[in-house]
Structure 1
């Protein structure tokens, strides 16, 4: 696997680490459990990192030196593709002939390197986009920066070069075909999964006590990278609207924001805290709590302690946060965009909101907070919906894609 711009060892929720990191780790783990050895190539971001780090039994992360260890943004990484590709090829050259059977690249930067490795090694390239520039630009958040034309061209090249493309959802498959002219015969839909051993229901009262949350609070949780694309500001504005029309809720409302700044959010890392203060949601009697990024087990506890989890993103290729939250039995209020329309069953495991208007979001939040019967139905539906997503099934389907790509490559030779 190639994951150039973000390491599977990084903590999700800050920097460029997010759902893709979880995807690579969980998929690699499940494949290793089936006896398949997995090497993950990623760019080294510290001189203290060992060249090869065993992540799990059968999975090792190879740190490739390409450019300065620190200070490079994702937008500057295309200049390091040649150096990264050279070191990937050099690493493979030290192995016996035919060491790798498949290259699976994640994100377009990795796909550029994967295409070169594919041609040199004579093995198929399977690519997962995770996000697409044309889609992001179509659903751009206010004040966010459009993806550059260089990325769009790079993505088009990867789509053309890949032997197989894995889409997270049927909608993503249609976008690959419609926006990038992908061959429909080379696109397969494989849903990501959820670790149901980690993300599971907890005793809510006990978990809230451990996290310092009031037992009777209405907890509206946001988890993820703090950047315009993820739209945590929409949640804060909706909460302000909710309190303006229902001031009696203030005494029992808690809004944890779990995560760190990322992407264009790094330009103004304090902007969300400033917005909370401007809206009167911060301070001694405020309702907002900022929580640094946490590991998977701790994140599961935050989900389980919440009344609902809000996912107001402008776009999501899948929406792992929504899937994980539902696995703990917590309903999700999400934007009706991208993969969220697949992950969240509207009216059964959560509510989908068609706009990013804070008034519409406030109305949806109010329904879940004030209607006990609805909330209980959604909690039961959330657990049921989460059972349809498992990493074991994801690994099985992905291996089928690998096998098909290998077979077709052999036929073509």
Structure 2
């Protein structure tokens, strides 16, 4: 099939995903009998010691694998939201699958609370990993330096909060007339540019997608990195990368960001969706270089706990716990209705 062309040997295609709105973003989901058949073939031929499934509580390849397999399985849960309608809707068929997991990981306390409130099960918190050393070695570039505010993300997604920064900018420029906003990430800037006050458009620069090396330099260059996200975040990996790169971070006080930044110890916080308060925090930091430097220093030290050298050891300890029984992964012998239906329909492919 065309979706299998030029895949490296360590990747196996389960088919072509579809895009659906999920948790304020767009998720690429693959689910159904054909995918289930491919997952079963993969499990049968893989001779795996353990399966590590990401987000097995939503219709996905991970959930299909959880249904199809038995043996040592670890699930990592990323989503953080007060009301997960999908989980509520399919809760009765999720619970038996989640109970099959040997261990559960949540990437943040916010993700853990989502899991406990929706499925009445718990997890150990292990954060997402980053290559902290790569970001620590970033080199400041003159073109991104000065009184600059950095933003990285899919700026077309409302939950990323660029509109909050746009509303704060007129206030910021009254006290910092030379400030510039550098926006990196995928998307068409045309609509955003049209919403910017014409007198302020020259202060914006859209960089498009940037490489990981460029991102490290970006974080080392900007005076302040702003994450004005309005919700739907379970961790905030871009914040961890910004901290590791030595940026002074300003973020909205959504639960995941508040937790990652130590309630303001490692980065400044402002009330979510409040451009006036965002402006006040940014102005205060632009005026006080010593405060910026100290905040960036403490943040950079804190970011080391997210380095893969640390995170991988924690995950491996979970693997060791899950493998205590000595069994390997095999195809499930369960005869639940959805297993029978998916297997029968998939065999028609």
Normalised to the residue count of structure 2, the TM-score between the two structures is 0.80
Q: Which residue of the partner structure matches residue 275 of structure 1? A: 195
Distance of aligned partners of 1:281 and 1:127 in 2 relative to their CA distance in 1, 3 Å threshold: farther
Structure 1 residue 223 corresponds to structure 2 residue 142: no
Structure 1 residue 259 corresponds to structure 2 residue 185: yes
CA–CA distance in 2 between the matches of 1:290 and 1:195?
25
The structure whose Rg is larger is: 2
How many residue pairs get aligned? The number is 318
Q: Which residue of the partner structure matches residue 397 of structure 1? A: 314
Deviation for aligned residue 1:340: 1.2
Deviation for aligned residue 1:221: 0.5
CA–CA distance in 1 between the matches of 2:271 and 2:326?
43
Q: 5 Å matches for 1:186-225? A: 187-204=123-140, 207-208=141-142, 212-213=143-144, 215=145, 217-225=146-154
The structure, 1 or 2, with the larger RCO (C-alpha pairs under 8 Å, 6+ apart) is: 2
Instruction: Give the secondary structure class of the aligned counterpart of 1:404.
Output: helix
CA deviations 1:264-312 (Å, max 9, x no partner) are: xxxx874322222x46431xxx111111112211111111111111111
Cα-Cα RMSD: 2.9
CA–CA distance in 1 between the matches of 2:30 and 2:163?
33
Q: Which residue of the partner structure matches residue 53 of structure 2? A: 105
Q: 5 Å matches for 1:146-185? A: 149-150=85-86, 152-154=88-90, 157-158=93-94, 161-162=97-98, 163=101, 164-177=103-116, 179-184=117-122
Q: Which residue of the partner structure matches residue 168 of structure 2? A: 238
8 A Cα contact 2:135 2:245, kept in partner: yes
8 A Cα contact 2:4 2:12, kept in partner: no
Deviation for aligned residue 1:231: 0.8
CA–CA distance in 2 between the matches of 1:287 and 1:345?
31
Q: 5 Å matches for 1:36-47? A: 47=3
Q: 5 Å matches for 1:287-326? A: 287-315=203-231, 316-326=233-243
Q: Structure 2: which 5+ runs fail to align?
A: 22-26, 328-332, 334-349
Deviation for aligned residue 1:119: 4.5
Deviation for aligned residue 1:326: 0.9
8 A Cα contact 1:347 1:378, kept in partner: no
CA deviations 1:300-357 (Å, max 9, x no partner) are: 1111111111111123211111111111111100111132122213554320112321
Distance of aligned partners of 1:93 and 1:393 in 2 relative to their CA distance in 1, 3 Å threshold: same
Q: Which residue of the partner structure matches residue 20 of structure 2? A: 74
CA–CA distance in 2 between the matches of 1:48 and 1:114?
19
Q: Quick one: which of 351, 355, 362 aligns to 2:272?
A: 355
Instruction: Give the secondary structure class of the aligned counterpart of 2:255.
Output: coil
Distance of aligned partners of 1:103 and 1:150 in 2 relative to their CA distance in 1, 3 Å threshold: same
